[in-house]
Amino acid sequence: MAPADRHDAALYPDEILLEGMRFYAYHGVNPEERVLGQRFTVDVALAVDLRSAGTSDDLADTVSYSAVYKLVRGVVEGEPRALLEAVAETVAAEILAAFPSVQRVIVTVRKPEAPLRGAMLGAAGVRISRWRAAQSGVA
């Protein structure tokens, strides 16, 4: 059974969403992308049991949106990578490492102005899903 079959929305029905985060960074395969930079947008969905936070109304019982944003910003605006896949993988790994209550993270990284000759598109990007069990070597 693939991880997606066992780790579906029924197991982790609650999510924290940060969508449309915008950054300027220097990721890309082309040399000009590393020199000139470009805009990137990032979405994250964090599977977290939010029942305690919902009843307590206490920040200590959830994951701080601000802390997640700062982590994502540090990765995206940090070390340039050739591939969006590497950016997304680093974001996912760092979120799982920093926030023990997060059981699954879905990360979407997009280049709104991807340098694709002759292409007319809104953005090019990647979306990955990582689970806490996968982090510990248990699939």
pLDDT score of 9 more than 60 = no
- Class of residue 134 by CB neighbours under 10 A (exposed 0-12, middle 13-18, buried 19+): middle
This prediction has a pTM of: 0.86
More confident residue, 30 or 13: 30
Active site residue 70: no
Query: Are residues 102 and 46 in contact, defined by beta-carbon separation less than 8 angstroms?
Result: yes
More confident residue, 123 or 94: 94
Q: What is the pLDDT of residues 70-103, one digit of tens each?
A: 999 999 999 999 999 999 999 999 999 999 999 9
**Beta-ladder partners of 25:** 38
pLDDT score of 1 more than 80 = no
Catalytic residue among 111, 125, 131, 132: 111
Give the pair of three-digit tokens for residue 21: 């985060």
Domains in the chain, number: 1
Q: Please report the pLDDT score of residue 133 as a whole number.
A: 74
Q: Give residue 100's domain range.
A: 3-135
Place of tokens 């805009």: 39
Band of residue 120 on the pLDDT scale cut at 50, 70, 90: confident
SS3 46: strand
Q: What is the CATH number of the domain that holds 130?
A: 3.30.1130.10
Q: What is the pLDDT of residues 23-77, one digit of tens each?
A: 999 999 989 889 999 999 999 999 999 999 999 999 999 999 999 999 999 999 9
